[in-house]
Structure 1
Amino acid sequence: MLGEFTDKKAEERFFAVYDEILRKWPVPAEELDIETKFGPTRVRSCGPEDGPPIVLLSGGMGTSLSWYPHIAELAVRHRIHAVDSLGEPGRSIQTAPIESAGDCADWLAEVVEGVLAGTGHEKVYLAGVSRGGWLALNLATRTTARVAGVVAIEAAGFGVIGRSFIWWSLREIFRWFLPRWLLRLVASGDPDVRHTVRPLLFAALKYKQQLPEMHLFSDDELSAIDVPTRIVVGERSVIHDARAVAARLGSLNPHIEVEVVPKATHGLSLEKPDLVTARILEAARHAAAT
């Protein structure tokens, strides 16, 4: 089965909001539809054309637009490629089922090939948040032929996602309706960003996803990663035990570095946007130097 909106009205509402938020994209960009065996994938590219490429993968239902607060700084020296993940709401169009983690890796590998085509670069740097982090790691555990390195922010795949996540999500959604002055007092990060992406999130709820579950990474899978990888987790995450993740990975693979951000939750990219931008740039520089 394929992902789709519940009806035409819901689809039109989503894209009206999508286009409104797109106006906040801070630098000139071009859009490309990369053909894959699962359907065309929309990629928004910006920054110097000869800059080292970074592929950005959003969290579930977030779309490429969730990266807009980070773009201005990321695109100074790098060619940025922000992806609307296939099988989720966005400008990508799913035409074939994505039924397994292997399919997810095949799709992303095709996107990477499309991004690199004709650029003169041999590899990209992958950066993802939540499900996007899982997608990046899922590919890196299988092949890094075209991957220079990975940074995964609060990635899924290290713990069972259950009720704690649901309760946290409901509390976060409630906060997003608070006036900006009050939101500044109760939540870290820029309240304007939450208010900007809020209507897109609610419009996305009318999209029926048909995607495989994000499996938990085994030690063998993580040990297979052979490129510089930084995994950033929130101390108060509700999708895994941050300290346990750090302890597990600390001696598992010398290519993997884990950072636990004090007091941060699964919303780390909203709470600490400057840190997320900095870690992506630092990790990309480190990958380029190795």
Structure 2
Amino acid sequence: MLGEFTDKKAEERFFATYDEILGKWPVPAEELDVETRFGPTRVRRCGPEDGAPIVLLSGGMGTSLSWYPHIAELAARHRIHAVDTIGEPGRSIQTAPVESTEDCAEWLAEVIDGVLAGTGHEKVYLAGVSRGGWLALNLASRSTDRIAGLVTIEAAGFGRIGRSFIWWSFREIFRWFLPKWLLRLVASGDPEVRHTVRPLLFGALKYKQHLPEMHLFSDDELRSIDVPARIVVAERSVIHDARAVAARLESLSPHIRVEVVPKTTHGLSLEKPELVTARVLEAVPVKPGV
């Protein structure tokens, strides 16, 4: 089955909000549709053409626009490709079902091939939040032929997502409706960003997804990742035990480096946006040999 909005009005409202937020994209960008077996995937490209290519993957329901607070700094030195994930709300158009984790990897590999075509670069750096981090790791654990390195922020795939996540989500949503002055007192990060993306998130709830479950990564899968991987997790995460994740991963591979960020939750990218930007910049050399 294919993902779709519940009705035409919900779709129109979502894209009206999408286009409004797109106006906050801080640098000139071009949009391209990368053809994949699962449908054309919308990619927003910006930054110097000779910069190291970075593919940005959002969390579930987040769309590429969730990266807008980070773009000005990232695109100053690097070639940025922000992706609307296939099968989720956004400008990508799903034409075939995504039925397995293998399909997820195949889709992302095709996107990477598309953004690299004609650029002179052979590999990209991947940066993903939550489900986007899972997508990056899911591909890297199968093949790193086109990957130079990766950074994940609170990636799924290290623990079962259950009631704790649901309760955290409800609490987080309640906070997003607080006035900015109060939100500034009770939550880390810029309240303006939460208020900006809030209508897009709620519009996305009218989209019915049909995507495979994000499986838990095995030791063998993680051990097979042979490129630098920076795994950033939140100390108070509700989707895994951060300390256990750190102990496990660092014992598996010398390529994996784990950072536990104190006093943060699964909303780490909103709570510490400057840290997220810094970790991506640290992972990507200005003049890489790719």
Settle same-fold status: TM greater than 0.5.
yes
Report whether the alignment pairs 1:42 with 2:42: yes
TM-score, scaled relative to structure 1: 0.99
1:93 match: 93
Which whole-Å CA distance do the structure 2 matches of 1:84 and 1:262 have between them?
Answer: 30
Name the CA distance, whole Å, in 1 between partners of 2:220 and 2:236: 27
Corresponding residue for 1:197? 197
1:270 counterpart letter in structure 2: L
* 2:108 pairs with 1:102: no
> 1:288 offset after TM fit, Å?
3.6
* Distance 1:147-1:199 versus aligned 2 partners, 3 A rule: same
Q: Where do 4+ consecutive residues of structure 1 move more than 6 Å?
A: none
Change (3 A) 1:257 1:289: farther
Maintained 8 Å contact 1:47/1:76: yes
Q: Deviations over 1:246-284 (max 9, x none)?
A: 010121100000000000100000000000000001011
Q: Which residue of 1 aligns with 2:25?
A: 25
Distance of 2:170 and 2:286 partners within structure 1: 37
* CA offsets 1:134-168 (integer angstroms, 9 cap, x no match): 00000000000000001010000000000000000
Q: Deviations over 1:77-131 (max 9, x none)?
A: 1000000000000000000000000000000000000000000000000000000
- What's the counterpart of residue 122 of structure 2? 122
> Does the residue aligned with 2:260 lie in a helix, a strand or coil?
strand
- What is the aligned partner in structure 1 of residue 158 from structure 2? 158
Assess if the C-alpha contact under 8 Å between 2:55 and 2:80 holds in 1. Answer: yes
1:57 match = 57
Residue 175 (structure 1) aligns with: 175
Q: Aligned equivalents of 2:77 and 2:199: distance in 1?
A: 31
Equivalent residue, structure 1, for 2:235: 235
2:202 aligned counterpart, secondary structure: helix
Instruction: Give the structure 2 partner of residue 282 of structure 1.
Output: 282
Alignment RMSD, CA only?
A: 1.1
Secondary structure of the residue that 1:51 maps to in structure 2?
A: coil
Task: Percent identity, please.
Answer: 85
The 8 Å contact of residues 41 and 93 in structure 2, kept in 1 or not, is answered as yes
Deviations 1:210-236 (A, max 9, x none): 000000000000000000000000000
Q: Deviations over 1:160-217 (max 9, x none)?
A: 0000000000000000000000000000000000000000000000000000000000
Aligned length: 290
Alignment deviations for residues 5-59 of structure 1 (CA, whole Å, 9 cap, x no partner): 0010110000000000000000000000000000000000000011110000000
Contact kept in structure 1, 2:51 and 2:286, CA below 8 Å: no
Which runs of 5 or more residues in structure 1 are unaligned? none
For 1:31 and 1:253, locate their aligned partners in 2 and report how far apart those are by CA, in whole Å. Answer: 37
Q: Secondary structure in 2 aligned to 1:56? A: strand
Q: Does 1:16 align with 2:16?
A: yes
C-alpha distance in structure 1 between counterparts of 2:229 and 2:288, whole Å: 12
Q: Is it true that 1:221 corresponds to 2:221 in the alignment?
A: yes
Mind listing any 5+ residue stretches in structure 2 that lack a counterpart? none
Mark the CA change 1:44 to 1:286 in structure 2 (over 3 Å): closer, same or farther.
Answer: closer
Is this contact kept in 1: 2:52–2:285, CA < 8 A?
no
2:145 aligned partner, one-letter code: A
2:141 and 2:222 in contact (8 A); partners too: yes
* Residue aligning to 1:6: 6
TM-score (norm: length of structure 2) = 0.99
Q: CA deviation at 1:287?
A: 10
- For 1:155, give the aligned amino acid: A
Does the CA contact (< 8 Å) of 2:52 and 2:286 recur in 1?
Answer: no
